[in-house]
Chain A
Amino acid sequence: MKPIAIVGMAGIFPGAPDVQQYWRNIVGAVDAISDVPAQRWDKSFYDPTSTAVDRFYCKRGGFVDDYVDFDPLQFGVMPKAAQSADPDQLLSLRIGVEAIADAGYQTREFARERTGVIIGRGNYLSAGTLRLEQHVRYVQQTLQTLRDLLPDISVEQIEQVKTQLQSQLDYYGPDVAVGMIPNLVASRLANRLDLHGPAYTVDAACASSLLAVEQSCQLLARGDCDMMLAGGLHFTHDLTFWATFCQLGALSRAQKIKPFSHDADGILAGEGIGIVVLKRLADAERDNDRIYAVIQGVGSASDGRGTSLLAPSVTGQLLALQRAWQNADMNPAQIGLIEAHGTGTPAGDQAELETLLQFFGETKNDDAENSETINNKKRPVLGSVKSMIGHAMPAAGVAGLIKAALSIYHGVLPPTLHCEEPHPLLARTRFRAIGKAEPWPEHKRIAAVNAFGFGGINAHVVLSSHRTQQAAAALNSSQDFAVLPQNFVVLPKVALIAAATQTELLEKLRREQWDRYACEGAWRIAIIEPDSKRIELAKKIVANGKPWHGRSQIYFSCEPLLKEGKIAFLFPGVDSAFEPRAQDVAAYFQLPLPPHCESLDPAQSLLKVVQGLSGFNQFTFAVLKRLGVRADGMAGHSIGEWSAMTAAGMIAREHADASMAKLDFNTVSFPDLIFLAAACDQQVVQRAIEGLPEIALSHDNCPHQTIVCGKSASIAIAETRLREQSVMMQRLPIVSGFHSPFFTEHLAHYRDFFLATPLAEPTVPVWSATTAQPFPAVMEQKQQLALDHLVQPVRFRQLIENMYAAGYRVFIQLGTGSVSGFVQDTLKGKTHLSINVNSEKHSGLEQLCHLSAALWVEGLQFDYRLLGLADAGPAVSKSNLKLRLGVPLIRLQQPLALSVARAPLIEFDANNADPIQRLFHETLTEIKQVSDEVSQLWLRRSSMQPAGPRVEMQEKVAIAPFEKRIVQRLDINDNIPYVIDHTFYPQQQGWPDIADRHPVIPLTMEVTLLRRAIEQQLPGYVVIRFEEVNAFNWLVVAQPVDIEIVLEMKEFPLLEVGIEGYMHAKAIVAREYPAAPPVQMHQLINSRAAQIDAVALYRDNWMLHGPAYQSVIELGPIGDNGIRGRLRVSEGAGALLDNMGQLAGYWVMEQEENSLAMPIGVEQICFYGAEPECGEEFDCAITIRSLDTLSCLTDQQLITDDGRIAIVMNGWHTRRYQMDRAFWMASKQLQKYIVSDKLGDDAVLFRDIYDTAILRDYIARRYLNQIEMAQYEALPPRRRRSWLNGRVAVKDAVRAYCWTRNGHYDFYPKEMRVDNDANGQPLITTHITQPFSENLHISIAHKDLLAVAIVGEAPVGIDIEAIVTRESSFVDLAFSAGEQQLLPEKNRSEWIARCWAAKEAFAKRRGTGLQGKPKQFEIEAIVDQRVCVNGAWVDTLCNQGYAIGWIK
């Protein structure tokens, strides 16, 4: 037979929503057997003592109810029809599509006209058929039975029963009917995927899937088809199925499935689906498909006239095995694994073991040393996945096939459960059973799969590994398996969410709603192996809004670096260790591993390390290529530069290999040469080696690592000097002399090589660490630089700084080692990502998952396969359904209104009664009483459910569950005028643009709206308590908004309530308010007066609230643990609760930092009376429960004047915003203050230290009016920040200017607009009001996180530059010789920056800018801090590493 490759697979099995989890479970020996879920069948059917046909002695099995998700819209199915259709059809559609995606053909085209589908499926009663059966037969049967039993039942009553019954049934209509046709299990796939090969189902009982595989292989081998989807499914755990298997006695009485155990007593049923994608091996190799395993042969046979229909027959089984191995042309003696049929029935196990014994040969007693080995060799392994998932019937074959293929693919011999004491026959076969996974180190791995069906249909498949896996395995020893089983090549689970906004992301995270498809959205989080701890941390990270790059296995970004940033590939050179994690990656990607990719000590075998790391650098480059990750530029550290040159095509691969082969470090000797790594920057090192002979700086890696190379005497002195300065040091175990002048005499080999080797133009820029610039274009210069590299220092720090300046933001370290740490150290504080492709901390694939996660959050489009993301899902999959596999018994909600005539009681004459008549009468009376009681109980049954906590007994009369949605319009100009007093950003009186004020509904008003809605909905009830009140979106009412209030009575008296999209809570209702608990006041610690009084609280904008929400009438005393106050109820809805929160908020504001605080939720609000009237007064006591940088939790009590508690709020949660106090104080009264620093002469400097997205939004909304806000939001994310900073600075400059000239008056930043004129010059105009009348000129500049601005009545200019060490070429370009004479020698870098800024400021005042001709602007004199440019004096100053120049 032509070998057939398995190139894709997908499935669902008990305990496993996908194939990855299935494999993890297999390797981890997970038992996925459970009790039958209640929705599958009622527990009344379980009775181990009964033999009745409707009673089952077994209730355990393998179930997949949790994983049968289906998104109807993705597959073009109507959601309504999907709920009723046969789940088999929908799931085969979904899994078929997933299998194609796994094979990589979701986006790649394939020969659809030559692709077919064959699915194994048994014709048991499926859920879909049963639902139809209920409509068609069950209702009629019930009504017929009622008529037969109760002849007097009226037509109306029958109708009533019918209506009730039908209302309990699932929807059925013409659109469902198509979902009932059995063969559509295959046809739907062909239809959806437009496949034109044959598509059909096969039923060969338990052998079905392997028969599907056999036929598929034949179609492929004959050339009739080019691709096949083959598999099987079984979801038909219907009662009839259980009845059949109980009657057959096939189910385990011990309720445990123990294949090949000596005491196995039957099967447990399993279920699931598996589909594999098959292609001819040659085609698969040609198309570069991933190959899990190769099918070498398939055989099938029937038992013929066997002993009985259901008894297994060794003859039939043997025939199937013989046929398969004949096809396979392989040696059965080489087998490593049999995935047996192994059902765990005594007869089945016995027959199968005999078959194996006869086919693979018997072990004689003298051969077998023990149960583990034969003739010193480990026995091959026998197992059955049924021990973990049960017997999935027609899907059993594919479950075994997938298991065997993955075992081959990963090189792991999988365990089997519950076979500690095997069947005695096992020892006589060549096989053994194992309870724990073992490595399968053979290069050529051969496995076989059995599936034997009822009625005597047998199938057998022979599989082998693919030669690329063999090559990968051959190159590396089995070192990766030393630490079984943690180190298996199993991809970690990666949970991802992409969202458009922070709130959306938080909400999805809270619901753990992970993305299954690649979704859009800049807010992205990836969590590797998520657990509750990581998810909690993730929530904090998202709330914080700052990028997070991998700690605790979490990656997060909200401003994707790769929207505009470039990717750099950095190739490492020799490090102090070389520990690649390569083998799993090689196996997964089927890439051959180059030599020496193993742990090596550079001190022992430098040559091997150099060869190994060079090969491994190119290997990881190939892996990134496979993943579709491409570089915009490359660089290398030390000899890694050669790798970069090779990867970018400068050096042809064969030249590189040839050169590498000729290397021999043993011929080069460096007496006394030592590398010393010092943990400090290069200036410190320069000082330490000053004046010493034969020592030189060789590597400037980063601010915390510099390496010198020198003779031992000088090294020793340098060490002493450095030690005096407390610098950590380490001598490196490597001797090469590279990158030092001492290597000059050893250059011959390299000179020959580089001068003889043409260096091509690279595909992407290659940066040299010698010049910290891209390689030059001229050949001689290139070659010279390649040689200089060996004798000049590696200027890695400068390289990374320059690459950053050139727009590189993502630095991927190829190979392995610590180069990415240098990058992080160099770019500390600058937004960037630096990450390894391979790291000793994780397995190779794990680290690749980390890399994939990091790149995904930064917005890169590439192959997401390691993340488990399907690449082209529906835009948003909101229509996902959980399919229902079971058809539970129908239970009616109401008893029939029975006026059915009962037999009249026999008239009873008490005076004239004989004892029998009396007895009869008494009995009847008793019966009637009981019957009345029962029917009373029926009526009250729902109220007999356990009641919610703290509900009085009188609350027994329950309200049935309901769900009610109330749409309500909120219009600030109409029904909620008071909300204008709850705006975030106050503006001038009468400011017309309401959006500039940002009016939001207070959380407490939302609670009040809910309280009113509930009480309106449930007359006679009051809300006594809210719990878990959480807001997740600001409800902004700048425009009228229609909100949807949702009230859902879950279980009386508990309601789930909320405002859709904004907040959510639980509410508890009762007839009356409970008695108030006693007041519990905590003593205030360190009690003192508040810093301000209640009037100032509102007047000075501590609180943003207007009159309708100003209820605090007394503020304080305040203490370390709380605050007191007095409140008077004002008119705004929710004002009273809000004011309790205001007191808590004020307490936070008195803290030293992070003073801005906003409420986001409350754990519990208890009401002990109705809503108070306007004007009523209360005392309020706030106790601080906990405080950290991000949040504050308080408990609050509202107390009446007669000392009763009116309201308790526990766990009031305020979110704190990270800002310094000065900024906070100024920003809350922005009409009076500026947040920038004044520089003098109407120039200001704004220092942006506000890193979180939340704070930037806060600043933007305070400074930008709606017109500017729209401009701001249209900017690319990377430009936004500096643009905003410039706006802040200039608006502050203008306001300060006006206040200096005209005295103080309220002047909000939104009262002016910054635009650009036709020449791009910034222009300032007033907006809406007239805060100034002068014709003002402005100039703006920004650098990094600083922005400066200046204002004047005539043209002005300002500029800011970073003070850095400049090359002499820059200085020559910028300044004439005469100017250079003027530059002071002392602090020269600073003066270069000052003078440049002065020229720029002058040029900006002229309205032209420098236009690339700095020498047109001549510096004529420097006096103190002032610089004279073309006759005009420019002021300059230096501030924290920056020079600023300005001129009026």
Chain B
Amino acid sequence: MPETINDAILQQVIAAIRSAIAEDWVMDFAIDADTSLNDDLEIESIEFVAIAEALQKLFGAQVDIIGWLSGKDIHELIALTVGDLANFVEQGSERG
């Protein structure tokens, strides 16, 4: 895992999360790399799917984000942070 997260990717991930949740409250939330999907954003597992879809759409086929996420059980999923997602996307893009 790289020491620092590519900021551009992180910002894209954050924007995707905001637009996937698409509710008023999320505009009032400060989201950064340390934001946890479960504890901070308090998202339900179902909502997580919408986020994953949005990310997959955003980063296209070269990053198998759905595949990566499918390998995790729901408890692992909701323990993820926004930074974890951005890291995976970044590594995925590099490989691609």
Question: Which of B42, B46, B66, B73 meets A727, CB within 8 Å?
Answer: B66
Question: Is A728 a contact partner of B52 (Cβ separation < 8 A)?
Answer: yes
Interchain CA distance A418-B52 in the complex, whole Å: 54
Chain B contacts for A822, CB-based, 8 A: 46
Question: Is B67 a contact partner of A723 (Cβ separation < 8 A)?
Answer: yes
Question: Is A728 a contact partner of B70 (Cβ separation < 8 A)?
Answer: yes
Chain B contacts for A729, CB-based, 8 A: 70
A144 in the interface, Cβ–Cβ < 8 Å?
no
Question: Is B52 a contact partner of A818 (Cβ separation < 8 A)?
Answer: no
Q: How far is the CB of B49 from chain A (nearest CB, A)?
A: 4
Question: Which of A540, A550, A551, A818 meets B46, CB within 8 Å?
Answer: A818
Q: How far is the CB of B12 from chain A (nearest CB, A)?
A: 18
Interchain CA distance A330-B68 in the complex, whole Å: 63
Interchain CA distance A730-B70 in the complex, whole Å: 7
Interchain CA distance A396-B21 in the complex, whole Å: 54
A363 in the interface, Cβ–Cβ < 8 Å?
no
Interchain CA distance A412-B69 in the complex, whole Å: 42
Chain A positions 701 through 736: 1 when the CB is less than 8 Å from some CB of chain B, otherwise 0? 010110000000000000000010011111000000
A-side interface mostly: mixed
Q: How far is the CB of B94 from chain A (nearest CB, A)?
A: 20
Q: How large is the interface on B (under 10, 10 to 19, 20 to 34, 35 or more residues)?
A: 20 to 34
Chain B positions 49 through 83: 1 when the CB is less than 8 Å from some CB of chain A, otherwise 0? 11011001000000000110110011000000000
A821 in the interface, Cβ–Cβ < 8 Å?
yes
Question: Is B27 a contact partner of A821 (Cβ separation < 8 A)?
Answer: no
Question: Is B44 a contact partner of A728 (Cβ separation < 8 A)?
Answer: no
A825 in the interface, Cβ–Cβ < 8 Å?
yes
Q: How far is the CB of B62 from chain A (nearest CB, A)?
A: 12
Q: With A546-B24, A576-B74 given, is the CB distance from A679 to B49 under 8 Å?
A: yes
Interchain CA distance A581-B4 in the complex, whole Å: 39
B45 in the interface, Cβ–Cβ < 8 Å?
yes
Question: Is B42 a contact partner of A551 (Cβ separation < 8 A)?
Answer: yes
Question: Is B46 a contact partner of A825 (Cβ separation < 8 A)?
Answer: yes
A548 in the interface, Cβ–Cβ < 8 Å?
yes
B3 in the interface, Cβ–Cβ < 8 Å?
no
Q: How far is the CB of B39 from chain A (nearest CB, A)?
A: 9
Q: How far is the CB of B65 from chain A (nearest CB, A)?
A: 8
Question: Is A704 a contact partner of B49 (Cβ separation < 8 A)?
Answer: yes
Chain A contacts for B49, CB-based, 8 A: 679, 704-705, 728
Chain B contacts for A551, CB-based, 8 A: 25, 42
Question: A798-824: which residues lie under 8 A (CB-CB) from chain B?
Answer: 818, 820-822, 824
Question: Is B56 a contact partner of A824 (Cβ separation < 8 A)?
Answer: no
Chain B contacts for A820, CB-based, 8 A: 44
Chain B positions 17 through 51: 1 when the CB is less than 8 Å from some CB of chain A, otherwise 0? 00000001101100000000000001011110110
A168 in the interface, Cβ–Cβ < 8 Å?
no
Question: Is B73 a contact partner of A730 (Cβ separation < 8 A)?
Answer: yes
Give the number of residue pairs across the A-B interface with Cβ within 8 Å.
Answer: 54
Q: With A705-B49, A821-B45, A825-B46 given, is the CB distance from A726 to B66 under 8 Å?
A: yes
Interchain CA distance A820-B50 in the complex, whole Å: 16
A537 in the interface, Cβ–Cβ < 8 Å?
yes
Q: How far is the CB of A369 from chain B (nearest CB, A)?
A: 41
Question: Is B45 a contact partner of A728 (Cβ separation < 8 A)?
Answer: no
A1189 in the interface, Cβ–Cβ < 8 Å?
yes
Question: A524-571: which residues lie under 8 A (CB-CB) from chain B?
Answer: 537, 540-541, 544, 546, 548, 550-552
Interchain CA distance A705-B46 in the complex, whole Å: 7
Chain A contacts for B74, CB-based, 8 A: 576, 730
Residue of A nearest to B38 (CB): A841
Residue of A nearest to B52 (CB): A728
Question: Which of A541, A704, A727 meets B50, CB within 8 Å?
Answer: A704
Chain A contacts for B66, CB-based, 8 A: 723, 726-728
Q: How far is the CB of B28 from chain A (nearest CB, A)?
A: 5
Chain A contacts for B67, CB-based, 8 A: 723
Question: Is A1189 a contact partner of B27 (Cβ separation < 8 A)?
Answer: yes
Interchain CA distance A1380-B66 in the complex, whole Å: 43
Chain B contacts for A537, CB-based, 8 A: 28
Number of interface residues of A (CB under 8 A): 28
Q: How far is the CB of B38 from chain A (nearest CB, A)?
A: 9
Interchain CA distance A546-B49 in the complex, whole Å: 25
Interchain CA distance A1060-B49 in the complex, whole Å: 51
Q: How far is the CB of A165 from chain B (nearest CB, A)?
A: 56
Q: How far is the CB of B73 from chain A (nearest CB, A)?
A: 7
Q: How far is the CB of B92 from chain A (nearest CB, A)?
A: 13
Question: Which of A540, A576, A825, A1251 meets B47, CB within 8 Å?
Answer: A825
Interchain CA distance A546-B44 in the complex, whole Å: 20
Question: A819-878: which residues lie under 8 A (CB-CB) from chain B?
Answer: 820-822, 824-825
Interchain CA distance A728-B47 in the complex, whole Å: 12
Question: Which of B25, B44, B56 meets A821, CB within 8 Å?
Answer: B44
Q: How far is the CB of B13 from chain A (nearest CB, A)?
A: 17
Residue of A nearest to B66 (CB): A726
Among A541, A705, A727, chain B packs the most CB atoms within 10 A around the CB of A727
Question: Is A728 a contact partner of B69 (Cβ separation < 8 A)?
Answer: yes
Chain B contacts for A540, CB-based, 8 A: 28
Q: How far is the CB of B45 from chain A (nearest CB, A)?
A: 6
Interchain CA distance A1251-B27 in the complex, whole Å: 15
Chain B contacts for A576, CB-based, 8 A: 74
Q: How far is the CB of B23 from chain A (nearest CB, A)?
A: 9
Q: How far is the CB of B68 from chain A (nearest CB, A)?
A: 10
Residue of A nearest to B44 (CB): A821
Residue of A nearest to B64 (CB): A726
Chain A positions 46 through 70: 1 when the CB is less than 8 Å from some CB of chain B, otherwise 0? 0000000000000000000000000
Interchain CA distance A822-B27 in the complex, whole Å: 23
Chain B contacts for A818, CB-based, 8 A: 44-46
Q: How far is the CB of A1254 from chain B (nearest CB, A)?
A: 13
Interchain CA distance A540-B56 in the complex, whole Å: 32
Interchain CA distance A292-B13 in the complex, whole Å: 52
Among A537, A546, A728, A729, chain B packs the most CB atoms within 10 A around the CB of A728
Chain A positions 1140 through 1167: 1 when the CB is less than 8 Å from some CB of chain B, otherwise 0? 0000000000000000000000000000
Interchain CA distance A552-B28 in the complex, whole Å: 11
Interchain CA distance A818-B69 in the complex, whole Å: 19
Interchain CA distance A94-B60 in the complex, whole Å: 66
Chain B contacts for A704, CB-based, 8 A: 46, 49-50
Q: How far is the CB of A1409 from chain B (nearest CB, A)?
A: 37
Q: How far is the CB of B37 from chain A (nearest CB, A)?
A: 13
Interchain CA distance A824-B44 in the complex, whole Å: 9
Chain A contacts for B24, CB-based, 8 A: 544, 546, 1251
Residue of B nearest to A725 (CB): B66
Q: How far is the CB of B43 from chain A (nearest CB, A)?
A: 9
Chain B contacts for A728, CB-based, 8 A: 49, 52, 66, 69-70
Interchain CA distance A199-B46 in the complex, whole Å: 60
Residue of B nearest to A548 (CB): B25
Interchain CA distance A821-B38 in the complex, whole Å: 14
Interchain CA distance A277-B45 in the complex, whole Å: 46
Chain A contacts for B73, CB-based, 8 A: 730
Interchain CA distance A804-B11 in the complex, whole Å: 37
Q: How far is the CB of A550 from chain B (nearest CB, A)?
A: 8
Residue of A nearest to B26 (CB): A551
Chain B contacts for A541, CB-based, 8 A: 25, 28
Chain A contacts for B42, CB-based, 8 A: 550-552
Interchain CA distance A726-B53 in the complex, whole Å: 8
Please list 27 pairs of residues, one from A and one from B, whose beta carbons are closer than 8 Å in the complex, sorted by A's number: A540-B28, A541-B25, A541-B28, A550-B42, A551-B25, A552-B42, A679-B49, A679-B52, A704-B49, A705-B46, A705-B49, A723-B66, A723-B70, A726-B53, A726-B56, A727-B66, A728-B52, A728-B69, A730-B70, A730-B73, A730-B74, A818-B44, A818-B46, A821-B45, A821-B46, A825-B44, A1251-B24
Interface residues in chain B, defined as those with a beta carbon under 8 Å from any beta carbon in chain A: 24-25, 27-28, 42, 44-47, 49-50, 52-53, 56, 66-67, 69-70, 73-74
The 7 closest A-B pairs by CB, nearest first: A679-B49, A821-B44, A821-B46, A726-B66, A704-B49, A825-B46, A726-B56
A sample of 12 more A-B contacts (CB under 8 A), given A537-B28, A729-B70, is: A546-B24, A551-B42, A679-B49, A679-B52, A704-B50, A723-B67, A726-B53, A726-B66, A818-B44, A818-B46, A824-B44, A825-B46
